[in-house]
Amino acid sequence: MPSWSTVRDLLDRLESAGIHLDCPLSPEIVPVEWDAVPSEVGPTGGMMEGLRAQRKRWQVENIVHMLRGVVRPGSVIVDFGASSGNLGLPVAACFPESQVYIVDKKPRTVDIARRRIEQSGLKNVSLYPGFVQEVTFPFEIGMGLHLCGDGTDQAQQLCLERGAVYVMAPCCIGFIQRSSLPYPRSRLFADVLDRQEYDWLASAADWTCRDESSEQHGRGKRCMGFINLDRNLAAEEVGYETAHFTMNPSDATPKNEIIIGKPSL
Ligand SMILES: C[S@@+](CC[C@H](N)C(=O)[O-])C[C@H]1O[C@@H](n2cnc3c(N)ncnc32)[C@H](O)[C@@H]1O
């Protein structure tokens, strides 16, 4: 576990190299009309209740809001790390002319998604059990809500290779320390930090917590922001336009950032 002074030195070096963080609160988002979709589609259909379900609704609404500008009739959208479909099902309901694929490595959670799809009557969702890296079909938009560790990077990489839009809200950033992918992701970061230093930054990115006013959260949030900035910079280096937001409301989750990228015209 790195000390804060070690991590702060890394952040200072990034800023001295002209790498600056800008992760504003998302502009006010248009809510999903949950009452207008089958009950199995919302988080309560995924067996969440109370505040937990409300927080998942906010997370989903933030991603749906970002998708509104990019989904076209016939778009193929992949929910990477979909689990039981808490994001993929509402997206399918909100964009009925799209086709949504549920991708997850855990067969048990995909079975729950299958039941929810059957009970909801949604016709535009397909199941694709397996790893992110195993997706071979064509798609235009890749999304991920709390896809752990390097799962986000695997999914983003696939999007970049396919020229697809990505919309990701990453979590469990510290897990990337175990990844065989190269980090930092961007050349800009790699000119400043080596892999060991980046792993320390990734580990500190998981310090975010529910008390948003705490010093611990502030430190973690800054580190999380830089890791997500590195992901967007890697996309910009291959010709993408990107954006980086904090979910609205910010207490939707401690892992409350969204990165978006689309190929420049
Ligand atoms: C924290 S859950 C999030 C589930 C859902 N997106 C949500 O927000 O409710 C992360 C999911 O990603 C899946 N996952 C992680 N890495 C993956 C990978 N490389 N390929 C496929 N699924 C993966 C896990 O099995 C898990 O179900």
Closest residue to atom 27 of ligand 1, CA basis: 83
| Per-residue pLDDT, 76 | 98
Describe the strand order of the beta sheet including 76-80 as a list of residue ranges: 125-129, 99-104, 76-80, 141-148, 165-171, 257-263, 240-246
Query: Is any atom of ligand 1 closer than 6 Å to the C-beta of 86?
Result: yes
Cα separation, 6 vs 185, whole angstroms: 21
Q: Which atom of ligand 1 is nearest to the CA of 79?
A: 6
Does the pTM surpass 0.95? The reply is yes
**Burial class, 263, CB count within 10 angstroms (exposed 0-12 / middle 13-18 / buried 19+):** middle
Amino acid at 240: Y
What residues in the chain have per-residue pLDDT under 70? none
| Per-residue pLDDT, 131 | 98
Cα separation, 265 vs 250, whole angstroms: 32
Closest residue to atom 11 of ligand 1, CA basis: 81
Closest residue to atom 8 of ligand 1, CA basis: 145
Closest residue to atom 12 of ligand 1, CA basis: 81
Query: Is any atom of ligand 1 closer than 6 Å to the C-beta of 83?
Result: yes
| Per-residue pLDDT, 212 | 96
| Per-residue pLDDT, 28 | 87
